[in-house]
């Protein structure tokens, strides 16, 4: 990716989106991210601005978004800052938009989980059945309301994940009870030495068994030993318990990734 991006979370987001076929256009003040194959993917169709919101910027940036995505039912704006600076928060709140900060984490080495899971089997997703289970797991682990549009988005996202793997840019790992997929995650790279985790998810019935920590550790070892990565990147919800798992494995908080959005009505 040739477009300069400061925030490590957004930089690796855009790296993976470009590898998956998304279109990136640098417009100077902002970058247009467009995923024609999945128009319902909010964070595959958004604008990444290079500066925080100044007074009056929110109205202007919404107008720019509308001109770039005239058929979009959502609004999605990112900020390429590293310290979580947003700017005119009052205007964002007054407009009824959602402000979503995430923690960008990285690791140059990892340590084993304190309580590894040794009862499940760990391997990469490979068969059609594995990937169909990935579709189902992503729905089961989702934290938002599932409607018809989300069903379409989710299947297209998993198809893009599989295409990324088939193109040699990543691997998707799963924890299995026999043939049943319990947990999964992706680790992808453009060969630059930086590898990014994607969609760490565990079936609600299988949580609390050490699956996620074991899976992240095994995928991390693959990234360092097989892929040759020198830096692993994880973007996590600072309010969700999983971030403690990543810290316990050796990931450290580095930056804040800020997103402003409005879901479809």
Question: Residue range 165-194: average pLDDT?
Answer: 95
Confidence of residue 2 (pLDDT cuts 50, 70, 90): confident
Residue 254 belongs to some domain of the structure? no
Nearest-CA neighbor of 39 among 81, 73, 90?
73
| pLDDT, tens only, 26-80 | 999 999 999 999 998 999 999 999 999 999 999 999 999 999 999 999 999 999 9
Residue 258 belongs to some domain of the structure? no
pLDDT at 226: 94
| pLDDT, tens only, 85-131 | 999 999 999 999 999 999 999 999 999 999 999 999 999 999 999 99
The CA distances from residue 251 to 43, 104, 111, 113, 200, in Å, are 24, 10, 9, 12, 14
- Strands 46-49 and 75-79 come out as parallel
pLDDT at 143: 73
In terms of C-beta density within 10 A (0-12 exposed, 13-18 middle, 19 or more buried), how is residue 86 classed? middle
Domain that holds residue 221: 121-249
Strands, sheet with 46-49, edge to edge from the N-terminal-most edge strand: 23-26, 30-34, 46-49, 75-79, 252-262, 98-107, 231-236, 194-202, 180-189, 170-177, 121-124
Which CATH number does the domain housing residue 139 bear? 3.40.630.30
Supply the pTM of this predicted model.
0.93
Confidence of residue 204 (pLDDT cuts 50, 70, 90): very high
| pLDDT, tens only, 117-166 | 999 999 999 999 999 999 999 999 877 778 888 899 899 999 999 999 99
157 shares its domain with 63: no
Count of C-beta atoms within a 10 Å radius of residue 219: 24
Structural domain count of the chain: 2
Question: What sign has the CA pseudo-torsion 77, 239, 181, 121?
Answer: positive
The separation between CA 217 and the C-alpha centre of its own chain, rounded to angstroms, equals: 18
């Amino acid at each position: 990716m040739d477009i300069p991006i400061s925030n490590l979370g957004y930089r690796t987001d855009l790296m993976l989106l470009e590898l998956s076929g998304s279109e990136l256009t640098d417009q100077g003040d902002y970058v247009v991210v467009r995923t024609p194959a999945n128009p319902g993917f909010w964070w595959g169709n958004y604008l990444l601005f290079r500066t925080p919101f100044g007074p009056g910027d929110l109205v202007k940036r919404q107008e720019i978004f509308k001109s770039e995505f005239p058929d979009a039912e959502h609004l999605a704006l990112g900020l390429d800052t590293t310290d979580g600076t947003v700017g005119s928060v009052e205007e964002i709140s007054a407009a009824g938009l959602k402000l979503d900060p995430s923690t960008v984490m990285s690791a140059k080495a990892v340590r084993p989980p304190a309580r590894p899971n040794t009862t499940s089997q760990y391997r990469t997703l490979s068969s059609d059945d594995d990937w169909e289970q990935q579709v189902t797991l992503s729905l089961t682990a989702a934290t938002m309301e599932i409607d018809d549009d989300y069903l379409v988005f989710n299947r297209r996202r998993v198809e893009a994940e599989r295409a990324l793997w088939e193109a040699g840019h990543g691997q998707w790992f799963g924890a299995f009870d026999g043939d049943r997929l319990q947990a999964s995650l992706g680790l992808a790279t453009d060969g630059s030495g930086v590898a990014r985790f994607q969609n760490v998810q565990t079936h609600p019935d299988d949580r609390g068994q050490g699956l996620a920590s074991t899976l992240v550790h095994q995928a991390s070892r693959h990234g360092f030993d097989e892929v040759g990565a020198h830096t692993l990147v994880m973007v996590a919800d600072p309010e969700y318990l999983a971030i403690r798992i990543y810290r316990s494995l050796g990931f450290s908080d580095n930056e804040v990734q800020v997103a402003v959005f409005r879901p479809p009505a």
